[in-house]
Structure 1
């Protein structure tokens, strides 16, 4: 066991202490040691450089908690007390106050050192700087939230699938319209498709998933009330910097009203063509009759 008094400044030579000091000052983490009760007895130079606290100012039971962001203090204290009580591995993310007055994210970890009887003699801990990773993670979370908000705002039913075509996500409008869940759709997504169009839809999607070409089709989708409405469906592959497909993004746009209008126009055109045909025949008959009268 490394004697904390030596680490705190005892001048007697100790090879084990010297090796620990060398290692503790070499690694990039803030290093600390406590006794079995959680009383801090040692911090390395990196701790002093970051916090601006001297070793004399830093030792104690609660000083470290006062340097944490107010929102992290109770969570860190609760987790640390649990480890002290149970001997469990200590791990937590929290924000430490630096000497410039700003807070920075660290990953705190600690393991107990036990004697031959299994009793904890000391805790060895480190604080690893993770500010850059945490900010990237928070930014990713913000972007993800913005995407979710946007996806739930657009009028389309939106979805995502893996590179192989496995469905992984739907927006809220999809669930509101179909009345299904992701688990149900993963088991059998065909249940929301009209049987008359299912085979064509499956074949088209399969071709696109294999070829990587964009997909587009028009077909009816069943609502939670049992009504089928027509949708213009499209999907595009999302690729990484190597050009590899990482997932697919798709939308279903309700075109039921446009479809009805198109059918009405087609019927109108058909009716008009019939009327024109009959009128043409009628005119031809009148012309024939007129010729016969003129020839008499």
Structure 2
């Protein structure tokens, strides 16, 4: 049993509340704010007399966050569940910073909520980094979906974990995206080429090659095969270890057909030249025979 002299006192709570870096507050069971620590006053510029009440705190929130925060707090007051939310609080200088608001109920012996203790933790720097990262991800996705190629990313061992939208549209797997994840990309390859493609890609991965390139047909959603030029490069960390592979598939069907037409025309021309040469040699032989006769 803890001696009475060592039991926490209101003065101990006040000391702790002023020591921690968070904004600290307390309310009665209805959500009426009765206490704020000095950090609250320093940040908001509001005195304790200005801060007490049940709505004042909401007026300091960013306008877009107010309704969401009010609904979340009302639910906790009604149910007694743990309160947690991210929102933006206005400082005494007029700028807004992101905070993580949290509160827990304190219950009496009968189990009824007697009061709430809460904190607001400054998470602005982390939130800005998170939002910047999300923005870069959105920009990347927009760019990846705008390019005409089918784009993809695979892990260090070659298992694909991401495709752009054009891949799903081309293969017809938009509603069943897991069908071509991992090494299941082989299912849309032509059976006459898939083994060679797989062997070449595995060789690039396990031999630590600096790039991979291959030409092969891929099955479209309607069953037709079209030819693609595929290229991939490894992304490495500072130690030089491969983190992932980034690749694209570029449709070259028309170019390949044109190349085949040119090759056929060249072959036909060679054949014509050969036959014409033979004809000329025969005519020369016949002419010589006549002259000698």
Taking structure 1 as the reference length, what is the TM-score of the superposition?
0.90
Counterpart selection for 1:129 from 122, 130, 135: 122
Alignment match, 2:260: 263
Alignment match, 2:37: 44
RMSD: 1.8
SS of residue in 2 equivalent to 1:140? helix
Asked if residue 244 in structure 1 is aligned to residue 237 in structure 2, the reply is no
How much has 1:176 moved relative to structure 2? 1.6
Asked if residue 208 in structure 1 is aligned to residue 204 in structure 2, the reply is yes
1:30-76 Cα deviation digits (max 9, x unpaired): 11111221111111111111100011111111111111111111111
The 2-side partners of 1:66 and 1:15 are apart by 34
Describe the shift of the 1:35–1:212 C-alpha distance in structure 2 as closer, same or farther (beyond 3 A). farther
Alignment match, 1:115: 108
How much has 1:280 moved relative to structure 2? 2.1
Alignment match, 2:95: 102
Counterpart selection for 2:217 from 203, 215, 220: 220
Q: Which moved more, 1:152-161 or 1:14-23?
A: 14-23
Where structure 2 has 5 or more consecutive residues not aligned to the other structure, the ranges are 1-6
1:143-177 Cα deviation digits (max 9, x unpaired): 11111111111111111222332222221211221
Alignment match, 2:281: 284
Q: Which moved more, 1:101-110 or 1:282-291?
A: 282-291
The 1-side partners of 2:230 and 2:154 are apart by 14
How much has 1:294 moved relative to structure 2? 4.1
Where structure 1 has 5 or more consecutive residues not aligned to the other structure, the ranges are 1-13
How much has 1:283 moved relative to structure 2? 2.4
- Which 4+ residue blocks in structure 1 deviate beyond 6 angstroms? none
Asked if residue 198 in structure 1 is aligned to residue 191 in structure 2, the reply is no
The 1-side partners of 2:80 and 2:23 are apart by 21
SS of residue in 1 equivalent to 2:35? strand
